[in-house]
């Protein structure tokens, strides 16, 4: 990382408590969270935003959210988030669709995506690349694909979260953990 961070073994007080809260079930801590160690408020806010976008009840499935997160991260060139969320996607997909994670990660259009997933990917790519160009027709295309307004709101939250997370990772030089990708934060 490009900035100083506090090792979990050296964390005390509120930071130690936050590390336990945001850590993986296996006891590891993802570097995307560790990079916030100099500001407990920043760490807490990042984790809360992540949980809201990716784990809270939503009309979007976890698979759909991981697909979108991987697409946004791939579009932004964020290898860290691509690897983490493609791994999450692989864990969630049924055996006959696991190849979809590799295709999404490679930026390939896959015939195995649903109409709804394709619409979400197209919207995510447009909002990521050219946010000012999004218009009512883009929203209508999502509705035609089966998303209601709550699903559209949640979709934008996921896209915006990854825009934020990708810039934290890329801007602060966050690298993949040497021990490998953790299971998932304790939501």
Give me the residue label for tokens 């160690």: 37
Please tell me the distance from the alpha carbon of residue 28 to that of residue 47, in angstroms, as a whole number: 15
pLDDT per residue rounded down to tens, the chain (187 residues): 999 999 999 999 999 999 999 998 888 899 999 999 999 999 999 999 999 999 999 999 999 999 999 999 999 999 999 988 888 888 998 888 888 888 887 777 667 888 999 999 999 999 999 999 999 999 999 999 999 999 999 999 999 999 999 999 999 999 987 765 655 554 4
The separation between CA 6 and the C-alpha centre of its own chain, rounded to angstroms, equals: 23
Tokens of 104: 């999404």
The separation between CA 147 and the C-alpha centre of its own chain, rounded to angstroms, equals: 20
CA-nearest of 166, 179, 14 to 82 is: 166
The domains located in the chain, with CATH, are 62-167 (1.20.1290.10)
Please say whether the beta carbons of 103 and 116 come within 8 A.
no
Torsions phi, psi for 115 (to 5 deg): -60, -45
């Amino acid at each position: 990382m490009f900035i100083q961070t506090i090792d979990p073994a050296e964390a005390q007080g509120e930071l130690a408590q936050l590390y336990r809260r945001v850590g993986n079930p296996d006891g590891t801590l993802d570097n995307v969270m560790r990079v916030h160690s100099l500001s407990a408020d920043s760490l807490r806010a990042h984790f809360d935003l992540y949980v809201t976008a990716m784990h809270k009840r939503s009309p979007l499935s976890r698979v759909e959210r991981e697909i979108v997160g991987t697409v946004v991260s791939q579009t932004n060139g964020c290898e860290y988030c691509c690897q983490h969320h493609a791994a999450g996607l692989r864990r969630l997909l049924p055996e006959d669709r696991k190849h979809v994670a590799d295709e999404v990660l490679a930026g390939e259009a896959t015939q195995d995506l649903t109409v709804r997933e394709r619409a979400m990917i197209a919207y995510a790519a447009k909002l990521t690349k050219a946010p000012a160009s999004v218009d009512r027709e883009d929203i209508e295309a999502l509705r035609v694909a089966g998303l209601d307004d709550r699903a559209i709101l949640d979709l934008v939250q996921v896209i915006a979260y990854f825009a934020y997370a990708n810039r934290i990772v890329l801007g602060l030089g966050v690298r993949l953990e040497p021990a490998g990708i953790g299971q998932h934060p304790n939501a």
